[in-house]
Chain A
Amino acid sequence: MSLEVIYDEDSVKARLKLIGKLDTDTAPELAPIIQDIGAAPPAVLVMDLEDLNYISSAGLRCVFQLKKLLKPHGGQLVISHPSPQVKKVFDIVKAVPVQSVFSSTAELDAYLDKMQRSVGQDD
């Protein structure tokens, strides 16, 4: 079992889809992509974890790294569709704020719309 990474680069709303397992063995595979994202941080990074069926603390570290990279630029990290196993782990370590974890596309879209509106108002 291994990890497959799909990254849709976008300056506003980028999407990082992880498939398989993110553990001690596979976490290093994510390192180059994290570096890329750090070079050009998007406003919103959606982590699609629908097909990620396993995450360990090594994987959590990657998530924290991404979160940290986005923060200085006001970027947002959103978790989309975590599998039950992954969600459980997220809950235990309180890795991300509860409101940035979305179990369906509809929820995520509504949240993103709302966020974009508030950004627009600020403009």
Chain B
Amino acid sequence: MNGFRSLATRLAFYTLTPLVLLMLVASWMDNRASRKTMISMAETAAMNLSDSVREELQGILRSTRTGIEAFSMPLARLPEANTATVVPLLQEALARFPLIFGSTLAFDPATDGPEAPYLYRQDGQIVTTSLAGDDYRYWEWPWYRRPLEEGAPVWSAPYFDEGGGDVSMVTFSVPMVAGGRQAVLTADIRLGFLSEILASNLLGHEGVVFVFDDQGLLVSHPVESWVLDRDLGRLAKSLNIPSLAEVSPTVARGEDLWLRPESGIDERIVGGLADRPGRLYIRPLNEAGWGIAVYFSDQDFLSDINVATRNRLLFGLGIMLLLAAIMVTASYRSLQPLGALAARTRQIAQGDFSAETPGLDRKDEIGRLSRAFHQMQVHLEHYIDDLTRETAARERIEGELSTAKQIQASLVPMTAPDFGELPLDLSALLRPARAVGGDLYNYRMLDDSRLFFVIGDVSDKGVPAALFMAQANALLVAAAHHQDDPGDILNTVNEALCEDNEFCMFVTLMVGLLDTRDGSLLLANAAHDPPLGLDAHGQARWLDVGGGPPVGIDDTAKYQSQRYRLDPDDTLVLYTDGVTEALSPDDELFGDERLRAALAGHAPGNAQAVQDRLVTAVDHFCDGAPAADDLTLLVLRYTGDGGDRQAGPGVEAARCEGTLSTPVTTSAHHAVFDRVQAALDQAGNTTLDPGDVRLVVEEVLTNIVKYAGLGPDGRVDVAWSADENSLQVTFEDRGVAFDPLADRELTGNEDHSEGGMGLVLLQSLTDEREYTRLDGVNRLRLVFGST
């Protein structure tokens, strides 16, 4: 468990927190309600208490009064009243009324002099004494004078009877005539009994009950020293409750009142022991204007409630804690497999699949998760195994390919050749599109003066092409050992490659032999792209080397060398379709025209410079697009003096040229052919078959009529140029793009369309063909004969 982040802890927290809060609020409200009830109950109790005390007191006083009044009768009937006759009766009265502390019958001193026998209790005995001593002078005391003056029984104010009983008391005095003598009968009632009554009527554990007289003087109080010493006025000051001083008149009117200031009344101030606030109830006690005050401390009653509340809270909290413990434990035990799963995940992430997944046999959600996890682990293990195996296999293949690439590179001469004093400059490049490729070049000196060279392109790419390339390369090198005519070499290689060529792989080859003594050049072509010749001034021309099909297909094919001659500083550029078919990012082909444009017009410095210029042009054109095909270049520069060569066919004959713009109709070819025929006649050209020319012109124009999609207003621009050996005709139209030279299946059978046949004828009867599409114009350039 990770503290609060643990699901178990959080579950317990979120469940129990509201419960605890709820419990606290409920306890608080319950406590408040209970307090209210309790205080109300306590107040009622205080009122009841005061009632009972009042009842009790009044009962006592009434009975005392009744008793005394009853005893006054036999006293009054005494024939002679003096101490001797009175004492036995008083003695009887004291015996009959235990509440009476003492009693006297004080005679009027004016008649027979002072005489006042006084009986009182002392140590359980009734003692007789006299109040008639000079020092006491009883006739001056209120208890004696007031009844006589008022002519009615009188309760005295409480007083301390010094010299009498030496206790606090009140006296009930009844005026009477005994034995013809004016006298006052008294009954002293010790105030001590009040304390006894009050002490037995406490409210709460620490309540205070006290009694005060009509003047506010304390008549009874638990603190004895306060009795007859303190009054309500003093208490009002110490309690800081001025209203207390006004209590007496209220009591005198017979009204009761509560004193419960906000801050409560400190119990100690009313003579209690506790230091907690409480409240005071005051009500009248008797007709003399006495009052009783009942004090109780709130706390005395509330402590029980608080204890109950506290106990309930403790009990509730205990249950919550128990609940929390159960929840945390239960959740932890339920969720423990999750922790184990997390640990397993880390193990798996580190590649360790060995450990068991826990909790697979559980029936709950955790069990489902565990089983899904286990399944994932098994799949993952298999997947990683497979991946490891496949990666190993791929790495092995890549390693092999890398070796194959090195081997293939070693098959062709890679280092710059050193031709010593020979007038030769050669530069070559092979750049496979993949690790290995099907392009090849090779060269070697056959003897002191003759250079054998070859460039080729195997169909397909990658490993199959590379294998075929290696075979072709080996056969070429072997053939060059025994034969020196390029055509013968091609024948030999073709026969060898055609054997058991079940996969119909083929290779286009251009084989050459250059005699450095006089610049004479033999070229044999197996369907390879025509080399580009550059003279010393950068004038470019295509060498249209006739030949046979690609090597490896037709074992009956025969190849023948064609003879050329290189002038001093002539450069021969051989290449594969990796150059002409290099793709720009917009899927545009590099093409013959760009190849020619890249090199034409620049006086070639050396072979390397020519190669660099062409490679730069191609790379710039591709602009980072991945090469689709292998790119191979062989640049050969002849720097000799040409030996004793004679002026060759390079001498220009008169050229006859012309142009014609004709509407696109089926019969347009008549007019065009007539004009071209005229040009041929003018040029003295007798080598070309006019029938071939007529046929080709008709086929081309028919094609344009049919496929260019031009309306009746459409026109074709035809331009021609003839000399005594050759004819070049160019057709230009603005119709839809249509390349009549595109690589279609051109076999002559009866299912072939007329157009298809026309194209076969076109291909067969011309010596050079070139289609370009520029700015919406189809341009077809055809050459008859060799230029």
The interface of chain A, by Cβ under 8 A from chain B, is: 23-25, 53-58, 60-61, 64, 67-68, 85, 88-89, 92-95
Contacts of A25 in B (CB 8 A): 666-667, 670
Of the residues B667, B699, B748, contact of A95 by C-beta under 8 Å: B748
**Quick check: is B755 within 8 A (CB to CB) of the other chain?**
yes
- Is B691 a contact partner of A94 (Cβ separation < 8 A)? no
Q: Whole-angstrom distance between the alpha carbons of A92 and B699 in the complex?
A: 14
**Quick check: is B689 within 8 A (CB to CB) of the other chain?**
yes
Contacts of B750 in A (CB 8 A): 64, 67-68, 95
Of the residues B689, B691, B757, B765, contact of A60 by C-beta under 8 Å: B757
A59 to B, closest residue via Cβ:
B754
B744-775 interface bits toward A, Cβ cutoff 8 Å, 1 = contact, 0 = none = 00011110101101101100110000000000
Q: Whole-angstrom distance between the alpha carbons of A95 and B749 in the complex?
A: 6
- Is B702 a contact partner of A24 (Cβ separation < 8 A)? yes
In the complex, how many angstroms separate the beta carbon of A69 from the nearest chain B beta carbon?
11
In the complex with contacts A25-B667, A68-B750, A54-B695 CB distance below 8 A:
yes
**Quick check: is B637 within 8 A (CB to CB) of the other chain?**
no
- Is B747 a contact partner of A24 (Cβ separation < 8 A)? no
Q: Whole-angstrom distance between the alpha carbons of A25 and B316 in the complex?
A: 116
Q: Whole-angstrom distance between the alpha carbons of A25 and B701 in the complex?
A: 12
Q: Whole-angstrom distance between the alpha carbons of A23 and B669 in the complex?
A: 10
Can you add 5 more A-B contacts, CB < 8 Å, to A56-B695, A60-B754, A85-B695?
Answer: A24-B698, A54-B695, A56-B699, A89-B695, A95-B750
**Quick check: is B181 within 8 A (CB to CB) of the other chain?**
no
B37-68 interface bits toward A, Cβ cutoff 8 Å, 1 = contact, 0 = none = 00000000000000000000000000000000
Q: Whole-angstrom distance between the alpha carbons of A54 and B667 in the complex?
A: 15
Q: Whole-angstrom distance between the alpha carbons of A24 and B670 in the complex?
A: 11
- Is B749 a contact partner of A85 (Cβ separation < 8 A)? no
In the complex with contacts A24-B666, A24-B669, A93-B698 CB distance below 8 A:
no
Of the residues A56, A67, A94, contact of B748 by C-beta under 8 Å: A94
**Quick check: is B371 within 8 A (CB to CB) of the other chain?**
no
Contacts of A93 in B (CB 8 A): 748, 752, 757, 760-761
**Quick check: is B230 within 8 A (CB to CB) of the other chain?**
no
Q: Would you mind naming 10 contact pairs between A and B with Cβ atoms under 8 Å apart?
A: A55-B695, A56-B695, A56-B698, A57-B758, A92-B760, A92-B764, A92-B765, A93-B761, A94-B747, A94-B749
Contacts of B747 in A (CB 8 A): 94
B606-633 interface bits toward A, Cβ cutoff 8 Å, 1 = contact, 0 = none = 0000000000000000000000000000
B756 to A, closest residue via Cβ:
A57
Contacts of B669 in A (CB 8 A): 23-24
Q: Which has the most chain A C-beta neighbours within 10 Å: B667, B670, B757?
A: B757
**Quick check: is B234 within 8 A (CB to CB) of the other chain?**
no
Q: Whole-angstrom distance between the alpha carbons of A89 and B698 in the complex?
A: 13
- Is B689 a contact partner of A85 (Cβ separation < 8 A)? yes
In the complex with contacts A25-B666, A93-B757, A93-B761, A57-B748 CB distance below 8 A:
no
Q: Whole-angstrom distance between the alpha carbons of A94 and B699 in the complex?
A: 17
Of the residues B667, B689, B749, B754, contact of A57 by C-beta under 8 Å: B754
Contacts of A61 in B (CB 8 A): 754, 757
Q: Whole-angstrom distance between the alpha carbons of A94 and B756 in the complex?
A: 13
The interface of chain B, by Cβ under 8 A from chain A, is: 666-667, 669-670, 689, 691-692, 694-695, 698-699, 702, 747-750, 752, 754-755, 757-758, 760-761, 764-765
Q: Is the interface of B mostly helix, strand, loop or mixed?
A: helix
Contacts of B699 in A (CB 8 A): 56-57
B701 to A, closest residue via Cβ:
A24
Contacts of B764 in A (CB 8 A): 92
- Is B761 a contact partner of A54 (Cβ separation < 8 A)? no
In the complex, how many angstroms separate the beta carbon of A96 from the nearest chain B beta carbon?
9
- Is A92 a contact partner of B691 (Cβ separation < 8 A)? no
In the complex, how many angstroms separate the beta carbon of B761 from the nearest chain A beta carbon?
6
Q: Whole-angstrom distance between the alpha carbons of A67 and B750 in the complex?
A: 8
B668 to A, closest residue via Cβ:
A24
A63 to B, closest residue via Cβ:
B750
Q: Which has the most chain B C-beta neighbours within 10 Å: A64, A67, A88, A93?
A: A93
Q: Whole-angstrom distance between the alpha carbons of A61 and B761 in the complex?
A: 13
- Is B755 a contact partner of A57 (Cβ separation < 8 A)? yes
Q: Whole-angstrom distance between the alpha carbons of A37 and B752 in the complex?
A: 22
Contacts of A24 in B (CB 8 A): 666-667, 669, 698, 702
Q: Whole-angstrom distance between the alpha carbons of A53 and B690 in the complex?
A: 11
Contacts of A53 in B (CB 8 A): 691
User: Shortest 5 CB-CB distances between A and B: which pairs?
Assistant: A93-B748, A85-B691, A57-B758, A94-B748, A57-B757
Contacts of B698 in A (CB 8 A): 23-24, 56
Q: Whole-angstrom distance between the alpha carbons of A88 and B695 in the complex?
A: 11
Q: Which has the most chain B C-beta neighbours within 10 Å: A24, A55, A61, A68?
A: A24
Q: Whole-angstrom distance between the alpha carbons of A42 and B240 in the complex?
A: 154
- Is A58 a contact partner of B748 (Cβ separation < 8 A)? no
In the complex, how many angstroms separate the beta carbon of A42 from the nearest chain B beta carbon?
19
In the complex, how many angstroms separate the beta carbon of A28 from the nearest chain B beta carbon?
10
Contacts of B754 in A (CB 8 A): 57-58, 60-61
Q: Whole-angstrom distance between the alpha carbons of A68 and B750 in the complex?
A: 8
Q: Which has the most chain A C-beta neighbours within 10 Å: B667, B694, B747, B754?
A: B754
Q: Whole-angstrom distance between the alpha carbons of A54 and B757 in the complex?
A: 15
A62 to B, closest residue via Cβ:
B754
Q: Which has the most chain B C-beta neighbours within 10 Å: A56, A60, A67, A68?
A: A56
Q: Whole-angstrom distance between the alpha carbons of A85 and B695 in the complex?
A: 10
- Is B761 a contact partner of A57 (Cβ separation < 8 A)? yes
In the complex, how many angstroms separate the beta carbon of B23 from the nearest chain A beta carbon?
107
Contacts of B758 in A (CB 8 A): 56-57
In the complex, how many angstroms separate the beta carbon of A84 from the nearest chain B beta carbon?
8
B761 to A, closest residue via Cβ:
A92
A64 to B, closest residue via Cβ:
B750
Contacts of B760 in A (CB 8 A): 92-93
